[in-house]
Structure 1
């Protein structure tokens, strides 16, 4: 960030959108601190980090657009414990709540890096996607960049506060996935057992 200035901040934030382990809760306050040190202006820090967020999101959107619904259905057929009906349900949910999901998803750890893919799969209007992504990213980035700018050398305190939120989101996602897969495995075992008993009968 110091070496490349604003473009460097954009690159790092853009990578965060395609590689979730890079936490924006660290990158954004650091960009604010760099602005306070004169590496770039506060407005520049917000601009470049938001540009990086949008470009990273567009890359993920492009991946989803390339995959398309039919390719995803094909993948679902090959993955154990996953059914095509699961995709159809998700597709229906996104058609009803996609706008809110894209906007608010930009402010949720992990989800921020993934929400652009289903938007691309569902062929969400590119202009609308760009608008919602920019608005959500601008709000989220401004909060953390300004915080890092105001805290100066203590910018890292933001990560310690925001870290619990990020960890909580990851924990909730892991639990939900585990519960879903556990229930699906139980149902499939039950169906196989019932089918075996019926065949023997």
Structure 2
């Protein structure tokens, strides 16, 4: 994948970086941990401007975040609650818990979005609950921008400083990403297994 990403960036330039980061946010298997360090390495070689690389990567990443925010808005609370009534066990959430989550997100969601944008795997989907809870777009964009620029800058500067060893960034971060995926999967399975304890069947129908 390194060769393909490298060739794409060499061919398309800054627009290619933005496009790859957009796709990375929409389709997570294309990791930013490969894209931005390579772009930073190119900047260290003088092929591209470092600040322009960070701006391009952040712009593409934010576009992907906005896409998932829009998806959350389209789903909406009412539709999600209907799905929870029908498939609550597999969604691991009840209609009442959706209301509680929305209330929490409206109080603390900005910080959750900003921190979520710094966490591998979580950063892709943190925008969905922001959209579902109808967080104002301006607030969502502001917090997302801070988290996104910090993450993108970190990856780019790591590649810039490591130069030809930029692949090490992915080596460092991949175990963290894998650990987070395992934790999320374990949490999901626990929620499925304990759903009836948390949400009695009679209550779930209301």
Query: TM-score, normalising length from structure 2?
Result: 0.86
Where does residue 96 of structure 2 map in the other structure?
Answer: 85
Q: Does 1:2 align with 2:10?
A: yes
Where does residue 82 of structure 2 map in the other structure?
Answer: 74
Where does residue 50 of structure 2 map in the other structure?
Answer: 42
Aligned match for 2:64, one of 53, 56, 60: 56
Alpha-carbon offset, residue 191 of structure 1: 6.2
In structure 2, the gaps of 5 or more residues are 1-8
CA offsets 1:60-119 (integer angstroms, 9 cap, x no match): 111111221111112222215142123223222212220111110100111111111111
Q: Does 1:113 align with 2:124?
A: yes
Structure 1 stretches (4+) deviating beyond 4 angstroms? 185-188
Change (3 A) 1:186 1:68: closer
Query: TM-score, normalising length from structure 1?
Result: 0.88
Matches within 5 A, 1:106-145: 106-145=117-156
SS at match of 1:109: coil
Alpha-carbon offset, residue 158 of structure 1: 0.9
Q: Which has the larger radius of gyration?
A: 1
In structure 1, the gaps of 5 or more residues are 193-201
CA offsets 1:14-58 (integer angstroms, 9 cap, x no match): 111111222221222112112223332111110000001111111
Aligned-partner Cα distance in 2 for 1:15–1:38: 26
